[in-house]
Structure 1
């Protein structure tokens, strides 16, 4: 699972607007039950429930022909969905808050990770046990997460100038080599990556530290969602069934990703460890329901982004999210 990406540049925004103006929405978003889904990262176990859905035909059972397109470091998934290239996509909550703030007509309709596994990780032999412990140390942080980490430091009474914050990469190996003292990433991804390499780590979950966040938020264009409610609800039903099966069958799901659906080179043991580590975060909502959308949590997320100056409008959770789709899917 990648870290939050940088906000949109002016060129990206103009490109999206141009494509949006030219796109024949009535043709792209017709009555077809084809559902193109833009993943935010490469195909791996973090999307295991979707591919389990393909395998057990849960999407087909609800009349949906779902396809999942890989993301990656050179792909802007939000721009692709906003431009109408795909009907739905997934992303951590932060970039979607920023996109909505900048005028992208997007709406979040469900959430795979009810609680974000975003963590501050350090070596177990040299643990960073608190935010205060970061004083005098070097931490790798995604560029777009930097304002949030700076706020976290200030809230903990740590002068940010006393912490060396450097850009992070998807691979946390710099932690092992001693180039950094801490790494801001996902305990279910980079953390598992290190653990399966035999590296023992210590993790501080960001939510526990006062940084509310989610991951795997499912979103789409407002106009598409408005015109295709039945298809979207049907897709979510298939996704819930797929994730339910994946969590009940982690070994089979890991094998499916390695042998059939995932990107080349996936390691079975790492995939299995990741889905097992992810399970508590997937069912962390109030009612332990898969893909549920917690508007109170999103209110806190928006307020956090407002506090660090990344949201200046009066955006509310209701502006950003629409829980009626997943509520209908879960009620069926």
Structure 2
């Protein structure tokens, strides 16, 4: 955000020189004050786990609207992507917090890492089976007898989900794909495993009416884009306050994005559209679809970002299935909601979803 300072001159001739000198001194004082205020901001990194599209529109909004600055922070939003080790930025201290999937920090913790999850963007995973609406695939049983596209890296997801959802896999023809709807558009498959925040918009851009269902609605799912920090930082009084300030300010940006996804999508395109070839309509669909994933009975009770209830149980069951672990289903030892509890205690009106 940029502020505009307007200087006034009074035209009293007798006091012109004095007035001008006083105004100049006041301007210098104002500039010095502004510089001092800027110098007082603490520079921190917020690492994303994917490219800078409208998945992070709430964070851009927090920056644009001055929520980070009001929290005393100068936040560098760091890009992720297929070739970025986003957890390394957190491990090294380049980032104070990182958006991660629910599985990555837990996996690293098994190998000696010490990461803690302190909040989440979405209450449900956007993992979905996506198809053309005309094919009538609206639930897991509808995948039977169909050609289903799954990337090689997601085969374990298919195996676990099909078991949980009771799909007769002997009737399903699995087709290895990369990512995206290309195979569906080409007619090589009937449905594919993708993200509800992206795939349907791409189909619509090709004049194909999309249909999809979330895996989480059928017992398999976990939080994605969770706020992850180092346990050591959470135990350090200074770092803990910085994390809390960052968490609250970023969630304020998410609330603003939910209120006005069109503005958030436009901001995304303005910031990163030329570099990444982002399309406004696609980014708007992503923002609107993502907005729906913030809601759950847990957030109705505790506010945005909170993790608990049935969503936590499903997430931990899924996590244990993926990792072969037996972690507590309430997330204790891995998920820490104390910062959000403190934020709500200090500001009871914070976090109410629109």
1:49 aligns with 2:58: yes
1:197 aligns with 2:199: no
> In structure 1, what is the equivalent of residue 312 of structure 2?
298
1:249 aligns with 2:249: no
Gaps of 5+ in 1: 1-30
CA distance in 2, matches of 1:167, 1:202: 20
Question: Residues 157-211 of structure 1, C-alpha deviation per residue, up to 9 Å, x if partnerless?
Answer: 4343443334443422211111222111211112222223322121111111111
> In structure 2, what is the equivalent of residue 137 of structure 1?
146
Question: Residues 245-298 of structure 1, C-alpha deviation per residue, up to 9 Å, x if partnerless?
Answer: 222222221111111245531111111122122222113342332222226533
Change (3 A) 1:272 1:279: same
1:321 aligns with 2:335: yes
> In structure 2, what is the equivalent of residue 187 of structure 1?
196
TM-score normalized with structure 2 length: 0.77
CA distance in 2, matches of 1:242, 1:252: 12
1:231 aligns with 2:242: yes
CA distance in 2, matches of 1:274, 1:259: 16
CA distance in 2, matches of 1:80, 1:287: 29
CA contact (8 A) 2:57 2:257 kept: yes
Secondary structure, counterpart of 1:74 in structure 2: coil
CA contact (8 A) 2:106 2:115 kept: no
Question: Structure with the greater relative contact order (CA < 8 A, sep ≥ 6): 1 or 2?
Answer: 1
Change (3 A) 1:36 1:182: same
CA contact (8 A) 1:81 1:88 kept: yes
CA distance in 2, matches of 1:275, 1:145: 24
1:128 aligns with 2:125: no
Q: Which has the larger radius of gyration?
A: 2
Secondary structure, counterpart of 1:203 in structure 2: strand
Change (3 A) 1:307 1:249: closer
CA distance in 2, matches of 1:290, 1:55: 20
Out of 312, 325, 328, the position equivalent to 2:325 is: 312
Change (3 A) 1:176 1:109: same
Change (3 A) 1:165 1:315: farther
The worse-fitting range, judged by mean Cα deviation, of 132-141 and 274-283 is 132-141
Change (3 A) 1:294 1:72: same
Change (3 A) 1:314 1:188: closer
Change (3 A) 1:91 1:321: same
Following superposition, the deviation at residue 43 of structure 1 comes to 0.6
Out of 180, 193, 199, the position equivalent to 1:171 is: 180
Gaps of 5+ in 2: 1-39, 348-354
CA contact (8 A) 1:236 1:329 kept: no
CA contact (8 A) 2:57 2:265 kept: yes
CA distance in 2, matches of 1:80, 1:143: 27
Change (3 A) 1:285 1:104: farther
Out of 224, 240, 264, the position equivalent to 2:251 is: 240
TM-score normalized with structure 1 length: 0.82
The worse-fitting range, judged by mean Cα deviation, of 54-63 and 166-175 is 166-175
Question: Residues 204-250 of structure 1, C-alpha deviation per residue, up to 9 Å, x if partnerless?
Answer: 11111111322221101111222111111111121122112222222
